[in-house]
Chains A and B, each alone.
Chain A
């Protein structure tokens, strides 16, 4: 069975590294980016099964990236999980409008990230 493709986006190298290792150790093919713009380009190119992204990043924020993904047909359906130190900064209606699958607040648990990814993918598969 082919590995699921995950795109991990954060301007903090250590966060990208730890999430990537956790996902790779659990059978994912992981690609990384350090800002929203690079991530959007990679997403268009690779069409990952899931994206895990930070909220606050230079060049292009996580929310801006999701907005662009939703406007682009091939990437509009890709589920996104957001990691943020400011969970309160995302309004619920904005979350629904951009179809953010889940929000995890920093400091997060890699176990929790993995579990959330699997839950989201399973839900999408069921649909």
Chain B
């Protein structure tokens, strides 16, 4: 653009010079008036040229500015036909048109790239959010076993802060030589997927991970990354172990009475019982063990039904004092056989509870029956009811003068199949009775169970139930 302007200025100046020279020559040969007239005409021509030049250059300047900022521009100036100006102007118009088209194409391309960048950023954020939201630890290593990606779970598991720019070697971060070796092995062996169970000693409580390593290859079948995912299966393993233990316990508990039934029946068949009294005794054992087996199966089924939420619960408002009194009556003859006295509870003012009567009755009978079992002859059992109006609860406690429970066993007596070994000699049990009590009170009725005990002096087992809404209104 500057070049064209210079050309025009030069031409105009030459024209001015020429006109001025002519004027001088006329001035020399003609009169002063003509000379002045010619000078005036020359001045007018120069002025007109400057005006035209100024207009064109302004148009060009505007066009140049518009092109520079990428705006739409149309040069509409009219140039003198066949002039150099027209030629230059046309060339300039073509240049501007082409430039505008290129700019437009670049703008479109730029828009596409920006969109793609936004999409990539969004995808990156999404992947990071997904990685950080999953509870599995994820680590990605490159072809030199350096960590190039790790999620928050991995950071917590291995106690490091992931910095994408630092390219830390896996062996510096992962405090498990076996896993570091597996990552390296997975890369070098190009194995698509490797699955392995790894156990980490975490503060003395081992944590087990189902670990999957996947080698990622490029187009040349070169492993460029290894993705390692560690899924915590500690709980699953514990549950599996608990199931195995449960089956093992149930198997053992069922086989014990079955063994007696089988053995005594065979003895009768073989004529090993020599007299009527022995025959009666053998039959009594078979009957007793069959009943034990039946109770055991019923307890296992009840616990299983409660735990799985399949048990039918028929809740109605009942007087807890009446339920307890009936249970005491049922247990009295058994207690009398051992010369144990049972003191019934004193009735309380408000004792209406919303319960499944049969279930709570079983709870009281189980607790009373245990009290009788573990109380030596001549002992005493006290049953008490206590109202807690503030908490809206009623409490039943059964205190015996029995053998008591060693301190180390007290916290476990409500556990499934738990037996206080020290008290085994006093009575046989399945280890399910107290667990059933706990399940019925806590899981089914939303109450709580408790136990206190002093070895050699006795124990107090009890439970707390919420009062029914009707009773709550009366007590309010």
Q: Which residues of A contact B (CB under 8 A)?
A: 11-12, 14-15, 17-19, 21-22, 25, 34, 56, 58-59, 85-86, 105-111
Contact A85 B272 (CB under 8 A): no
Among A11, A15, A25, A58, contact of B259 (Cβ-Cβ < 8 Å): A15
Contact B264 A18 (CB under 8 A): yes
Point out the residues of chain A lying under 8 angstroms from B289, CB to CB. 14
B421 at the interface (CB under 8 A from A): yes
**Most chain A CB within a 10 A radius of its CB, from B259, B285, B421:** B259
Among B248, B261, B274, B424, contact of A107 (Cβ-Cβ < 8 Å): B261
Chosen A-B contacts, 24 in total, with CB atoms closer than 8 Å, are A12-B259, A14-B260, A14-B263, A14-B285, A15-B263, A18-B263, A18-B285, A22-B272, A25-B274, A34-B425, A58-B421, A58-B422, A58-B425, A85-B259, A86-B251, A105-B255, A106-B255, A106-B258, A107-B262, A108-B259, A109-B263, A109-B266, A110-B263, A111-B270
In the assembled complex, the CB of B454 is this many whole angstroms from the nearest CB of chain A, namely: 21
Q: Which residues of B contact A (CB under 8 A)?
A: 248, 251-252, 255-256, 258-264, 266-267, 270, 272, 274, 285, 289, 421-422, 424-425, 428
In the assembled complex, the CB of B239 is this many whole angstroms from the nearest CB of chain A, namely: 21
Grouping DSSP codes into helix (H, G, I), strand (E, B) and loop, the B interface class, with mixed when no group exceeds half, is: helix
In the assembled complex, the CB of B146 is this many whole angstroms from the nearest CB of chain A, namely: 46
Contact B263 A11 (CB under 8 A): no
Contact A110 B261 (CB under 8 A): no
Point out the residues of chain B lying under 8 angstroms from A105, CB to CB. 255
Point out the residues of chain A lying under 8 angstroms from B263, CB to CB. 14-15, 18-19, 107-110
Given A18-B264, A21-B272, A110-B266: A85 touches B251 (CB 8 Å cut-off): yes
* A45 CA / B259 CA spacing, docked (Å): 30
Given A12-B260, A15-B260, A107-B261: A21 touches B267 (CB 8 Å cut-off): yes
Point out the residues of chain B lying under 8 angstroms from A25, CB to CB. 272, 274
In the assembled complex, the CB of B412 is this many whole angstroms from the nearest CB of chain A, namely: 15
In the assembled complex, the CB of B290 is this many whole angstroms from the nearest CB of chain A, namely: 12
Among A86, A108, A110, contact of B252 (Cβ-Cβ < 8 Å): A86
